[in-house]
Amino acid sequence: MKRNKAILTILSILVAATMMLTGCGGGSGADNGKTIKIGASAVPHAEILEAAKPLLEKKGIHLEIVEFNDYVQPNLALNSKELDANFFQHKPYLDNFMDEHKDVKLKSVGGIHIAPMGVYSKKVKDLNDLADGTSVSLPNDPTNGGRALLLLEKAGLIKLNPNAGLKATVQDVTENPKHLKFQEMEAAQIPRSLEDVDAAIINTDYALKVGLVPSKEALILEDSTSPYVNIVAVREGDESRPEIQTLMEVLHSDELKQFILDKYQGAIVPAFTEN
């Protein structure tokens, strides 16, 4: 009995010692490294981040992705330090957001891709077939609304006041020969409006999320001259954090560029050159 008790005591000590070693650094490099939390739209941003995960793990960084379904909360959460970075928006949107939210101090640390905005329709196959009085849904936030109107102007459907620039609104429409009727709504809700309107102008992330194929189904898409490159944003002062620098190295890697090209087949276009 004494021998059995001695053996059990020794085993207990060994188990305890093993647990202590594991808790103090016996795990993998990623477990001992940094964890960064990034807010993102589901498609394509979270998908791109998922592809980056294993590359970051090799560098000792664990990536936690928090998905958002709107364009407001990711910036508020980042500003309040609930996130380390976010990846869902383009620079014009971020600039406008900070103009409207003076307490928000965020900064871009680099562009990743262009997600061309497109015009979609369940009613017609060609923009020239849009009838007089056509209803068109477009985003109601200032930057994406202006972006949508510029796309309609590029398509020859309207003309805008040239002084309006990227922040054009429906009040800046100077010519509207087809008497388009604009229905402004939250960007995330626009895909649901496709059955109720003649045409809808949809951001690519939301188009992909509902199964639309921009390169095949959009009646017109923005081209590579678009200024709306999607960026990674951080709080001012965090740009030089080693984890953020490593994140950007991975997102700008040849592996991630190839992932974007293979996965999205032109619907999403890399906005960086290979390292």
What value, to the nearest 5°, has the Cα angle with vertex 265 and ends 263 and 270?
Answer: 80
Residue 269 is encoded by which pair of tokens? 């276009």
Residue 23 is predicted with a pLDDT of 36
Query: Across the strands, what pairs with 202?
Result: 118
Can you give the pLDDT at residue 265? 87
Q: Please list the pLDDT of the chain residue by residue as tens digits (275 residues).
A: 444 444 444 444 444 444 333 333 333 333 447 999 999 999 999 999 999 999 999 999 999 999 999 999 999 999 999 999 999 999 999 999 999 999 999 999 999 999 889 999 999 999 999 999 999 999 999 889 999 999 999 999 999 999 999 989 999 999 999 999 999 999 999 999 999 999 999 999 899 989 999 989 999 998 767 889 999 999 999 999 999 999 999 999 999 999 999 999 888 989 886 54
Please answer whether residues 184 and 171 qualify as being in contact, where contact means their C-beta atoms are separated by less than 8 angstroms. Answer: no
CB 97 within 8 A of CB 77: no
Identify the pLDDT of residue 274. 52
- Residue type at position 81: K
CA 209 to the chain's CA centroid: 12
- Give the pTM: 0.73
Phi/psi region, residue 187 (left: phi>0; alpha: psi -120 to 50; beta: rest), is alpha
CB distance 87 to 112 below 8 Å: yes
Question: Which residues, 6+ apart, have CB-to-CB distance to 246 below 8 Å?
Answer: 56, 59, 61
199-202/135-139 β-pairing = parallel
Other CB atoms closer than 10 Å to residue 115's CB: what's the count?
29
- One-character DSSP codes across the chain: -HHHHHHHHHHHHHHHHHHHHHHTT-S-HHHHSEEEEEEEEIIIIIHHHHHHHHHHHHTTEEEEEEEESSSSHHHHHHHTTS-SEEEEEEHHHHHHHHHH-TT--EEEEEEEEE---EEE-SS-SSGGGPPTT-EEEEE-SHHHHHHHHHHHHHTTS-EE-TTSGGG--GGGEEE-TT--EEEEE-GGGGGGGGGTSSEEEE-HHHHHHTT--HHHH-SEE--TT-S-EEEEEEETT-TT-HHHHHHHHHHTSHHHHHHHHHHHTTSSEE-S---
Residue 20 CB contacts under 8 Å (≥ 6 apart), including other chains: none
Q: Give the pLDDT score at 30.
A: 38
Q: How far apart are CA 70 and CA 74, in angstroms?
A: 8
- Identify which of 62, 59, 55 has the alpha carbon closest to the alpha carbon of residue 31: 62
Q: Which of 63, 65, 75 is nearest to 34 (CA)?
A: 63
